[in-house]
Amino acid sequence: MNDENLEIQEQLKDLQADGFAIFKLTDVDLMIEQINDDVEKLVLNGSFRTNSKFYSYNDAPRIVESWKHSEAARRLAFQPQIVNLLTEHFKALVKPFSTINFLRSTQQPLHSDYVHFGTSPAFHLAAAWVALEDIDPLSGPIQVVPGSHLWPEFMYSEIGLPIARSLGDVSSFYRAYENWVQDDLKLKEVQVQTPEMKRGDVIIWLANLLHGSPVCQDPMLSRRSQVTHYHTDQVSLFYNPVFSDPLNGKFLKRKLEFIPS
């Protein structure tokens, strides 16, 4: 077994045991420089889309679909080390469908991506968060809860909430979910981990892993990064969990635009 295969096997062990794997990407320095330049231009001319205000916790913009404006951002979504690891884990073709670029910390509470992107089969979702600069520990770094990827799928019905009927419901239901996560963590008495991330490092996490950036000592510090989300080609249904009731077979299908290779 060569060194590359040994590295992938170690990363797979981390993914399966902890729900995330961290490693250094190779040959991405120029790509990172270009992404940072491209994102800076988007910010200066204001020609970018952002996440919904439901998921914003400060005034730092979350720039979505940077891949439509930055060839380097698109190429990072297909970075071979990331794609190869996820392909090996899922034993399926993985397809990127979302990029979000951050200038500063999100200050977002711990959450699972799967509360946003439901799939059938379940949990065919992963994310790759790449540090586009050395991340200052005071800037609101990424935090993760090791092993939480193995916890049961969250459903809004388990906290007594029906299918959302309005955008107002989405906002209030999601805050209820965030509070439930905090209560669940206290009940389980688990430890939150804050990995040290340097420029060019990537943390790949699986669908149900709890992660976020709730601790930020200096929100004015930069925390430039890009996260890409992936589904697999085995998914037969994409749905929005807040508008769905999986226990009763009711789903609001989600339309996705996959990033072209």
pLDDT digit string (tens) for 8-31? 999 999 999 999 999 999 999 999
pLDDT band at residue 47, thresholds of 50, 70 and 90?
confident
For the segment 230-240, the average pLDDT, to the nearest whole number, is: 98
Q: What is the pLDDT of residue 1?
A: 63
Higher pLDDT, 65 or 6: 65
Element (H, E) at 75: helix 71-77
Which of 106, 109, 107 is closest to 192 using CA atoms? 109
Element (H, E) at 131: strand 125-131
Asked if 231 contacts 256 with a C-beta cutoff of 8 angstroms, the reply is yes
Q: What is the pLDDT of residue 54?
A: 79
What is d(CA 32, CA 132) in angstroms, rounded to the nearest whole number? 6
What is d(CA 14, CA 209) in angstroms, rounded to the nearest whole number? 13
Do the strands 62-64 and 118-120 form a parallel or antiparallel pair, or are they unpaired? unpaired
68-123: per-residue pLDDT in tens? 999 999 999 999 999 999 999 999 999 999 999 999 999 999 999 999 999 999 99
Find out whether the peptide bond into 214 is cis, omega within 30 degrees of 0.
Answer: no
Q: Residue 2 above 80 pLDDT?
A: no
Domains with residue ranges and CATH for the chain: 3-248 (2.60.120.620)
